[in-house]
């Protein structure tokens, strides 16, 4: 049971955490995978190689320690992580493993500081937070199973169609192998996809945004082919290459129910959709949904490297023209970077802004919106992979 003494002790260790930095979580992951290699079938090992997951976990641990007296400040983070966990099919027993290795990591990295009192406090703090996640994730699992066409865990789907959308992005239309109904979703959410690539020793789970409005019969994900093969035979993008180059129409893959806390929230206010590159995928589902409801006060701004990399170019053009939406496209090789300051009718005061794209792109857009005094509460964004704060 977490008590005031535990809270005081945990807060006293914040300098220790900050001094250790992401090295703490790097040690944690190395330790956990050495002792529990079966977890490599759940975690994205590419993110381990890049270090992004270690940084994200460290930031989450530090934020928890700093806000342990005010967990309401972490509500949004808990919701985002809980959704992501359901797309990996994380279970309560996984928290026991993670908790064990977290405590042992703290003991190994700070043996002089990690007294029995500190161990007791961090154990109580971890168990408290773990139960928050377990309860929220169980609620999401139950909700997913209770929906019309819903399910829990992995479900077999077949690839019904593959469509090349741009130089690097291909769409995959997925239909349930059992021919039964499928659950709806909120535009902006994603699917967890489980495959076993031929050149990977592990089962791989990835999340890909749904790129069409719900239709009751199929899901569409749109996947960017990532990375290049290394001299060791491994490459970032092992799953995207497998999907692009090896899986064919008629092939099967396992799918977890739609998840995600980034989605269009119905409003009478003007809506501004802003995307770059493959960030167009969740934005496209929103665009289809807005078109289906005949919403008029919509703007769509898109940026990418070149015309050949413009994902959904023809599809988006039709949506924009049919609904008379404001729009502009920036190809970096012709027009430079996106500059929202040149948009005359941008709804600065009452607009709702939805962003998705590379982190550097979204940081640039948020800086521009900040300079225009757009409220942060009106800016909604999705980061592919481990979360980053803008």
Q: Mean pLDDT check: name the lowest of 79-88, 104-113, 168-177, 220-229.
A: 220-229
Indicate whether 343 pLDDT > 80: yes
Q: 180 with 126, same domain? A: no
Q: 54 with 84, same domain? A: yes
In a domain, 230, yes or no: yes
Indicate whether 101 pLDDT > 90: yes
Choose the final residue of a domain: 204, 227, 259.
259
Average pLDDT value over all residues in the chain: 91
In a domain, 335, yes or no: yes
In a domain, 265, yes or no: no
Q: 300 with 376, same domain? A: yes
Name every residue whose Cβ is closer than 8 Å to that of residue 232 and which is 6 or more positions away in sequence.
none
Choose the final residue of a domain: 259, 286, 301.
259
pLDDT tens string 32-44: 999 999 999 888 7
Residue 336's nearest CA partner among 309, 303, 369 is 303
Name every residue whose Cβ is closer than 8 Å to that of residue 46 and which is 6 or more positions away in sequence.
227, 236, 237, 238
The residues that bridge with 170 in the sheet, in sequence order, are 164, 223
In a domain, 266, yes or no: no
In a domain, 342, yes or no: yes
| Helical ranges in 183-338 per DSSP H | 238-245, 280-292, 313-323, 332-335
Q: 54 with 98, same domain? A: yes
Percent over 70 (pLDDT), the chain: 94
In a domain, 125, yes or no: yes
Residue 217's nearest CA partner among 250, 173, 249 is 173
Question: Quick one: pLDDT at residue 70?
Answer: 85
The DSSP symbol for 229 reads B
pLDDT tens string 218-254: 999 999 998 654 333 444 688 999 999 999 999 999 9
Domain that holds residue 374: 271-382
Choose the final residue of a domain: 146, 174, 199.
146
Number of independent structural domains in the chain: 3
CATH of the domain at 217: 2.40.30.10
Percent over 90 (pLDDT), the chain: 75
Q: 223 with 121, same domain? A: no
Mean pLDDT of 63-84: 89
When pLDDT is cut at 50, 70 and 90, the band that residue 152 belongs to is very high
In a domain, 11, yes or no: yes
When pLDDT is cut at 50, 70 and 90, the band that residue 51 belongs to is low
Mean pLDDT of 183-192: 97
Q: Three-class SS of residue 302?
A: strand
Mean pLDDT of 380-385: 84
Q: 295 with 278, same domain? A: yes
Indicate whether 151 pLDDT > 70: yes
Q: 100 with 64, same domain? A: yes
Active site residues per annotation: 95, 137
Q: 132 with 203, same domain? A: no
In a domain, 390, yes or no: no
Query: Can you give the pTM of this predicted structure?
Result: 0.92
**Three-class HEC string of 115-170:** CHHHHHHHHHHHHHHHHHHHHHHHHHHHHHHHCCCCCCCCEEEEEEEEEECCCCEE
Question: Quick one: pLDDT at residue 47?
Answer: 66
| Helical ranges in the chain per DSSP H | 4-12, 14-20, 23-35, 45-50, 52-66, 75-87, 92-109, 116-146, 238-245, 280-292, 313-323, 332-335, 359-371
Indicate whether 62 pLDDT > 90: no
């Amino acid at each position: 049971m977490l008590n005031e003494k535990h809270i005081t002790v945990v807060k006293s260790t914040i300098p220790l955490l900050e001094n250790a930095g992401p090295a703490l979580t790097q040690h944690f992951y190395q330790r956990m995978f050495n002792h529990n290699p079966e977890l490599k079938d759940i975690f994205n090992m590419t993110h381990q190689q890049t270090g992004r997951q270690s940084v994200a976990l460290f930031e989450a641990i530090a934020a928890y320690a700093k806000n342990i007296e005010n967990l309401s400040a972490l509500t949004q983070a808990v919701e985002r992580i809980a959704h992501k966990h359901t797309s990996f099919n994380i279970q309560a027993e996984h928290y026991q493993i993670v908790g064990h290795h977290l405590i042992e990591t703290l003991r190994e990295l700070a043996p002089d500081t990690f007294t029995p009192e500190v161990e007791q406090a961090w154990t109580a703090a971890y168990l408290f937070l773990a139960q928050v996640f377990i309860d929220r994730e169980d609620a999401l699992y139950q909700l997913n199973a209770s929906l019309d066409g819903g399910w829990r865990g992995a479900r077999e789907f077949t690839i019904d169609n593959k469509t090349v959308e741009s130089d690097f992005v291909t769409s995959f239309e997925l239909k349930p192998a059992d021919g039964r109904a499928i659950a709806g979703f909120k535009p902006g959410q994603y699917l967890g996809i489980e495959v076993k690539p031929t050149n990977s020793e592990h089962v791989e789970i990835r999340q890909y945004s749904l790129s069409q409005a719900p239709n009751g019969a199929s899901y569409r994900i749109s996947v960017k082919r990532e990375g290049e093969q290394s001299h060791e035979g491994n490459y970032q993008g092992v799953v995207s290459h497998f999907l692009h180059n090896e899986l064919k129409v008629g092939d099967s893959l396992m799918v977890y129910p739609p998840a995600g806390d980034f989605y269009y929230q119905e409003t009478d206010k003007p809506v501004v959709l802003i995307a770059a590159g493959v960030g167009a995928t969740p934005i496209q589902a929103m665009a289809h949904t807005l078109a289906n409801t005949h919403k008029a006060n919509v703007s769509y701004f898109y940026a990418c490297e070149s015309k050949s990399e413009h994902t959904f170019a023809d599809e988006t053009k039709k949506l924009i023209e049919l609904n008379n939406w404001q729009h502009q496209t920036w190809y970096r090789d012709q027009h430079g970077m996106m500059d929202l300051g040149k948009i005359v009718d941008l709804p600065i005061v009452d607009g709702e802004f939805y962003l998705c794209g590379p982190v550097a792109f979204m940081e640039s857009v948020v800086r521009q919106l900040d300079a225009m005094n757009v409220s942060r509460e009106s800016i909604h964004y999705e980061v592919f992979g481990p979360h980053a704060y803008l």
